[in-house]
Amino acid sequence: MEPMNDAMELFRHQRAVRAFSDRAVTDDAIDQILQAAIHGPSGSNTQPWHFIVVRDQAVKDQLSDAYEEGIREAYGDATPARGADRQPLSAAPVLIVPCVDTPPSNRAGFQTGASIYPNIQNLMLAARALGLGTVLTTLHRRRKERVHEILAIPEGIESAAIIPLGWPTRTYGPNRRPPLANFVMQDRWRS
């Protein structure tokens, strides 16, 4: 994919990329992407983020196996086929696992996501800006205990996603959406 700097265009060109070429991802590119992530917002500006950058093939293989189990559990016979457009996670040059501190008083809840998913979005937008592909996956959470064991993630920390990162094997056009009016209401909910 071509690099892209215009912010408004960038939103329309984010695509879910699940197949990557062998081209290496440089440390500089990863740093730019993670800088974008940590400049995102968080509740009370607590910045409760941690990013595990996985390049070790053995670790990638283990995460990939746990993720495939999660997919099969979620989709059963409808599990999307692996192929040219969906490689296993183990085939990505880099996997990034964004984590967040859980609130002191309770387990991670819906709004805990407000302090990590905006940062993940920055990460994915910055990757797209450079011409790199990503996709936001969360099905590893169906094997969370195993994934946290693989990565030695301690108590009190939640893994929010596994993001494969690499150079796409092909080009992608803009994403498509129905008209805005389908999603928008004025002043109150209208059924």
Q: Among residue numbers 138 through 157, which ones bind its own copies (CB under 8 A)? A: 138, 141, 150-154, 157
Among 1, 17, 20, 49, binds its own copies (CB under 8 A): 49
Q: Could you tell me which stretch among 17-25, 31-39, 82-90, 164-172 binds its own copies (CB under 8 A)?
A: 31-39
Class of residue 115 by CB neighbours under 10 A (exposed 0-12, middle 13-18, buried 19+): buried
> Which amino acid does the sequence have at 129?
A
Nearer to its own copies, 15 or 20 (CB): 15
Distance of alpha carbon 85 from alpha carbon 78, whole angstroms = 16
Q: Pick from 20, 51, 67, 167: which binds its own copies (CB under 8 A)?
A: 51
Q: What value, to the nearest 5°, has the Cα angle with vertex 126 and ends 140 and 70?
A: 10
- For residues 15 and 167, which CB has a smaller minimum distance to its own copies in the complex? 15
Smallest separation, CB 143 to its own copies (Å)? 13
106 binds its own copies (CB under 8 A): no
* Cβ atoms 99, 158 nearer than 8 A: yes
Residues 6+ apart with CB under 8 A from 125: 10, 11, 14, 36
Does the protein bind its own copies through residue 109 (CB under 8 A)?
yes
Q: Residue 91, interface with its own copies (CB under 8 A)?
A: no
Per-residue x/- track, 111-140, its own copies (CB under 8 A) = xxxx-xxx-xxx-xxx--x-----xx-x--
Residue 38 interacts with its own copies (CB under 8 A): yes or no: yes
**What is the enclosing helix (H) or strand (E) of 12?**
helix 7-12
Cβ neighbours, 10 Å, residue 59: 16
Binding marks (x or -) toward its own copies, 160..179, rule CB under 8 A? xx-------------x-xx-
CA distance 21 to 19: 7
Interacting residue with its own copies among 56, 79, 84, 170 (CB under 8 A):
56
What angle is formed at CA 124 by the lines to CA 119 and CA 128, rounded to 5 degrees? 145
Question: Considering the rule CB under 8 A, would residue 187 count as an interface residue with its own copies?
Answer: yes
